[in-house]
Amino acid sequence: DVQMTQSPSSLSASVGDRVTITCRASQTISYFLNWYQQKPGRAPKVLIYATSTLQSGVSSRFSGSGSGTEFTLTITNLQAEDFATYYCQQTYRTPVTFGGGTKVDVK
Amino acid sequence: QVHLVQSGPEVKKPGSSVKVSCKASGGPFSSSTLSWVRQAPGLGLEWLGNITPLFARADYAQKFRGRLTFTTDEPTRTSYMELRSLTYEDTAVYYCATERLDRTTTYNWYDPWGQGTQVIVSS
C-alpha cells in the first residue's frame, strides 16, 4: 500500500497567515494527489485535485504543488472559515490512501 | 449536479451486520464509480473500496474482503454498503462519495460526498 505521511499533524495560525502543509508518499504517485478540507461533523470537501487543479468554487487562496512523492498545500491569507482539518489522498494505486490529517486551529 | 443522501445512524451489536444506503440524485449513475470511506472517532479517513454499476464491478480493500459487500439498485439510484461480523473497531462514520474522473489524464478525485452515516457497535 502507498503510505501517505502528512506534516505537521497540527498547527496554530492567525487570520492573515500563510500556511503550508506537506504530504509525502512512500512511493511515486505521479500527480495523483488530492487535498480535502473537513470541518467537525461534516464530510470532507475537495479543494485541489491532480496536485494543483483548484476545484470549481474553491477560493484561490488555496494552492497545491509537487510531484512524485512530495506535495504541498498552501493557504495564503488564512481566513476564519479555513480553520479545519486537511487531508491529502493518493489515487494512483488501490487501495486509495489518505494522509493522517493536519488540524489548523486558532493561535 | 450529483447529490448523495445516506441513510440514518445505526447501533449494532458485535457480530451483527449493518447495511448503509447512499441515494444519488442528478448526474449519471450507472457509469459513475462510487467509493466508500470511513472515519473512526477522532481518527483519519480509511478507504473501504468502490463499485461501478455499469460494469457490475467492485473493488474492496484487502482488510475488509470477505465481510464487506457493495451493491447497487439502478432503478432507485441507490448504492449499499453491507459490513458483516461487526466489532467495536467498526464504530465509525461511513461516507459514500462519487469518484470524478478526468478521462484524458485519468486523474480522479471524490466529489461530492454523502453526509455520512454514524455506525456504533455496542453490546
H helices, E strands: number in chain B = 0, 11
Residue B4: pLDDT band by 50, 70, 90 thresholds?
very high
pLDDT tens track for A79-94 = 999 999 999 999 999 9
Surface of B (101-120) touching A: CB under 8 A: 102, 105, 107-111, 113-116
C-alpha cell at B101: 474522473
pLDDT tens track for A40-52 = 999 999 999 999 9
Quick check: B105 and A50 CB within 8 A? yes
Q: Give the per-residue pLDDT at B27.
A: 87
Is the pLDDT at B89 greater than 90, yes or no? yes
pLDDT tens track for B53-69 = 888 889 999 999 999 99
Q: Give the per-residue pLDDT at A100.
A: 97
Q: Give the per-residue pLDDT at B56.
A: 81
Q: Smallest Cβ distance to B116: which of A43, A50, A99?
A: A43
The Cα B87–Cα B84 span in angstroms is 9
Quick check: A99 and B115 CB within 8 A? no
Q: Give the per-residue pLDDT at A12.
A: 98
C-alpha cell at B110: 471524490
Q: Cβ neighbours of residue B35 under 8 Å, at least 6 residues apart?
A: A96, B47, B48, B49, B50, B96, B97, B98, B99, B110
Q: Give the per-residue pLDDT at A47.
A: 98
| Phi then psi dihedrals of residue B77, to 5 deg | 55, 40
